[in-house]
Amino acid sequence: MAIDSFMSKLSVSQVKLLSTASVAGLSSTAINALASDRIAALSSGQLAVVTTDAIAGLDTAKISAFSSSALAGLTAAQLGAITNGITNFEESQLKALKTDIIAGLVEADLTALATADKLDALTTTQIAVLTGDKFSTDAIIDLTSAQASKLTATQVTALTSDAAAALTSDQLDVLTTAAIAALETADVAALFNGAGSAKLAALDAKQIAALGSDITELDSVGGGALSATQIGGLTTAQLGALTSDEMAGWTGTQINAIGSKQITSLAVGELTSAQQNLLTSTQVSGLSSTQIGAVTSDAFGAWSTDNLAAISSTAIAGLTTDQAATLASADVNALNIKALTAMSTANLAALTTDAIAGLGSAQIKALTTAQIVALTTDQVTALGTDQIAALSSAQVAALESGDIALFSTAEVAVISTAAIGAISSDDYMTLTNDQLDAISSDQVAALKDNVNWVIAAYNDSTVS
């Protein structure tokens, strides 16, 4: 007991003069006999040799008295000997702990620091040496934005599912793209679906892109929470992988955020008819034939003339007969000529008579002979005088037998002088006297020796 009394009488300057050998031999009671200001005078070298038993005997006040400079000498064994461990240190002391000491902390230590509201005292350098599996849910929640910003991809990958799900919006906001990319697939679902969908707002476009294929882990709530800016930042691979599950709640603002470089990857068939109808003409101009074919008939029939005019000549190859049948006269009139001439004969034949009547003169003139042949009887009947007048000689020649007989007298009269000669002798034989009478002087002049066919038609006993 004598040495304990002796130790209590030492001055601060005398404590500083103690050799490491002297300090190393002191018992727990002898060290504890030093007043707090004497404890504060210990150097890092002196502290390093204090026995674990002696350390274990110090009360909280004495532990709190260690200077920041002295704590540089603290060993892992000494830390383990302290009652209540690391939580006994003040924030300034925590900052002074060496990284090898910090690296030796376990999950319970971090949880204890978080509970004591002291975890925020650790420097970003100290945070960086901790492995991800040591961060409990409480520890994650207690991290400051500055600390979270230094979490590495390796640490994030090692987080438990519960810890990852506990990341806050403020923390997500500062995570690097590498850290975001390191989130496990299940973590993405746990973080951003359901009530967690609000956290998505914390991510910028680059962070969203960093989620990679895990973007498909979002449910309808999570997917619906994506902002227009975030959608605009999706890679083509990400956008192409999205299904109705993720896009179910997308509004016009979200759909219209899909850029021209992204649109080619959009799974159009995963959108509802109402959503397909929200596509802009600029977006439609970038759709492929497969994407056009995936548009429902309801949506296609509701598309604006601007959208229909934007369909490319290659994309129209994907048109189905059901889609073609929904087009009205104004719709067909809006089709650009290259797209119209690329339309399959089956689709052209599927157009209603109202749609056929909507074709402009330039569009009629551009139809291929194969398309002319594909016209049904009802469609030919629906052609107007302006359309008949626009037919070329090759198109007139391509009309099926009996089609000319469907022309009214007014329509016969407007067949161009260049095309009148393309009517076959058999077709003249199908015309009535009234139709023959409608042939004008200019048309007769253009017939040349084909006038014999007209005379034969007049003379034929079957012509009334």
User: In sequence order, what DSSP letters do the residues of 19-85 get, joined into one string?
Assistant: -HHHHHT--HHHHHTS-HHHHTT--HHHHHHS-HHHHHT--HHHHHHS-TTGGGG--HHHHHHSTTG
- List, in sequence order, every beta strand (DSSP E) within 260-308: none
Phi, psi for 138 (deg, rounded to 5) = -60, -40
Reported confidence tier of residue 410, pLDDT bands at 50, 70, 90:
very high
- 80 belongs to a structural domain: yes
Position 385 in a domain? no
Domain assignment of residue 19, given as a range? 1-97
206 within some domain: no
Nearest to 183 by CA among 206, 208, 153: 153
pLDDT digits (tens, 9 = 90+) for 148-192: 999 999 999 999 999 999 999 999 999 999 999 999 999 999 999
Mean pLDDT of the chain: 93
| Domain assignment of residue 16, yes or no | yes
Rounded Cα–Cα distance for residues 65 and 79 (Å):
15
Domain-located, residue 41: yes
Look at residue 380 and tell me if it is in a domain. no
- Give the Cα separation of 421 and 431 in Å (integer): 15
- The whole model's pTM is what? 0.80
Q: What angle do CA 137, 153, 218 make, to 5 degrees?
A: 70
Q: Name the band, by pLDDT with cuts 50, 70 and 90, for residue 89.
A: confident
Contact 457, 434 (CB under 8 A): no
283 assigned to some structural domain: no
Q: How confident is the model at residue 1 (pLDDT cuts 50, 70, 90)?
A: low
Structural domain count of the chain: 1
- Report whether 116 contacts 138 (CB < 8 A): no
Report d(CA 123, CA 207) in Å as an integer.
25
- Rounded distance between C-alpha atoms, residue 33 and residue 329, angstroms: 102
What's the Rg (C-alpha) of the chain?
Answer: 43
Residue 12 in domain: yes
Q: What angle do CA 120, 121, 123 make, to 5 degrees?
A: 100
